Structure 1
Amino acid sequence: MCGNNMSAPLPAIVPAARKATAAVIFLHGLGDTGHGWAEAFAGIRMPHVKYICPHAPTMPVSLNMRMSMPSWFDIYGLSPDSNEDETGIKRASENIKALIDQEVKNGIPSHRIMLGGFSQGGALSLYTALTSQQKLAGVVALSCWLPLRNSFPQAAANSANKDMHVLQCHGDADPLVPFIFGSQTVERMKSLINPANITFKTYRGLPHSACPEEMVDVKRFIEKQLPPIRDE
């Protein structure tokens, strides 16, 4: 049911320096692992926040001649009209929702949990938040797109996140996920959630990667949406 036949190793975790009262679940891009992102978050961490960077299961990816690599779902192509792996996207989304449920059982309420991701991971984080019945703190979506975009707004009919805050970031020199994908995704998101809660940041000359300026923006967004609880 949860794709256990393609089980991935345990997530890379940056634990809270004191009692965790908030969590960030961040999903890496195609062919990557959670380790590099865990290191990045260790550099901008806040003491009350736990950072969870899961690893995608390894599977054959059509885009890369069916070579096996870490991937949240299959990718058939990178053009706007490419077919999409609807079954795989929905299965991956359910697995992320199960991760959120696990943190809620650990004592962190869902509205203190933020989703995020880079590229394919950012796409999955947007889809998961928009279709989740768990109220989340927000989403950090880096260099990505909205998957199964034609299934919306119906897919978001029961979502608890119509008012969530979203930080979307994209480099204007991205050769893999073109900048136009990011700007079109922002416009689509504005029709699905409160447009006043969406921030879109552009980074001049940035290819398909992150940069220090972007990580500062991510840190500020997390600080604003997941402030310390005063009685900690």
Structure 2
Amino acid sequence: MCGNNMSVPLLAEAVTVSGMEKETAAVIFLHGLGDSGHGWADTLTGIQLPYVKFICPHAPPIPVTLNMKSMMPAWFDLMGLSPDSPEDESGIKKAAENIKAIIEHEAKNGIPPNRIMIGGFSQGGALSLYTALTCQHQLAGVVALSCWLPLHRSFPSASNGFKNVPILQCHGESDAMIPVQFGAMTAEKLKTIVDPHMITFKTYPHLSHSSCPQEMATVREFIEKYLPRI
């Protein structure tokens, strides 16, 4: 891969929220189905730390089975939203490789993987979990909002073996799209893959499939704890 963004397809278009001072850490944040990086870039600006760069890539438009094959931004195809729905294995793996390419690009430009955190909402959160658990580097942490672990049956054997990756999982208790029970099942599964002490699972009463200021405050604390100022 060259040093320019063109070799990293998702990076050329990504929304980047730059730090106010020398950037010594980065957070790659992945939006949900049908969304773009812009909305999350705005939300994350509200919790920004001056030495952290936020990178919010856009998913490419693909036909999504769940929505009658209509084209929409998606990290991979979705056939259904229950834990036993068939999954787009090749699409998930390809998407994870694209995110890993961003991690490599940042590492080449001076931010080491242990200073890079990955996160996302819904489908983006799902991809961030899968990417972090299969990445050849140990990342600084994962922020997994209102999501699940894709290809969960392939773990723990598919895991990179890093046991000390901190994971913050947040979920709304009134989420009708991805029920909070799926989040709880995901947290239990994650405890078989990484050290259970590294997993924080927080739920928010009355919160639907979205985020709220209390949740974002928790995300900021997590980022500050695991990406402290150097």
Tell me, yes or no, whether TM beats 0.5. Answer: yes
Partner residue, 1:227: 228
Q: Is structure 2 residue 207 aligned with structure 1 residue 213?
A: no
Q: Is structure 2 residue 77 aligned with structure 1 residue 74?
A: yes
Unaligned 5+ segments in structure 2 are 1-6
TM-aligned CA deviation for residue 161 of structure 1? 3.0
Contact 1:8 1:57 in 2 (8 A): no
The alignment partner of 2:158 has SS state of helix
Per the alignment, do residues 222 and 142 of structure 1 end up closer, same or farther by CA in structure 2, a change over 3 Å counting?
same
Distance 2:172 2:102 in 1: 29
Partner residue, 1:200: 201
Contact 2:10 2:57 in 1 (8 A): no
Post-superposition CA distance 1:164-201 (Å, at most 9, x none): 10100000110000111000000000010010011110
Q: Is structure 2 residue 41 aligned with structure 1 residue 38?
A: yes
Contact 2:33 2:123 in 1 (8 A): yes
Partner residue, 1:140: 143
TM-aligned CA deviation for residue 80 of structure 1? 1.7
Post-superposition CA distance 1:149-170 (Å, at most 9, x none): 00111101xx153211010000
Report the identity percentage.
Answer: 61
Distance 1:196 1:113 in 2: 20
Q: Which amino acid aligns with 2:46?
A: G
The equivalences for 1:1-232 within 5 A come to 10-156=13-159, 159=160, 161-229=162-230
Q: Which amino acid aligns with 1:36?
A: G
Contact 1:132 1:160 in 2 (8 A): no
Q: Which amino acid aligns with 1:40?
A: T
Distance 1:184 1:166 in 2: 14
Distance 1:202 1:142 in 2: 10
TM-score by length of 2: 0.94
Q: Which amino acid aligns with 2:40?
A: W
Contact 1:9 1:55 in 2 (8 A): no
TM-aligned CA deviation for residue 79 of structure 1? 1.6
Partner residue, 2:3: none
Per the alignment, do residues 160 and 112 of structure 1 end up closer, same or farther by CA in structure 2, a change over 3 Å counting?
farther
Q: Which amino acid aligns with 1:174?
A: D
Distance 2:20 2:12 in 1: 24
Contact 1:132 1:161 in 2 (8 A): no
TM-score by length of 1: 0.94
TM-aligned CA deviation for residue 8 of structure 1? 8.2
Contact 1:23 1:113 in 2 (8 A): yes
Post-superposition CA distance 1:41-69 (Å, at most 9, x none): 11110010000000000100000000000
RMSD between aligned residues: 1.3
Q: Which amino acid aligns with 1:131?
A: T
The alignment partner of 1:216 has SS state of helix
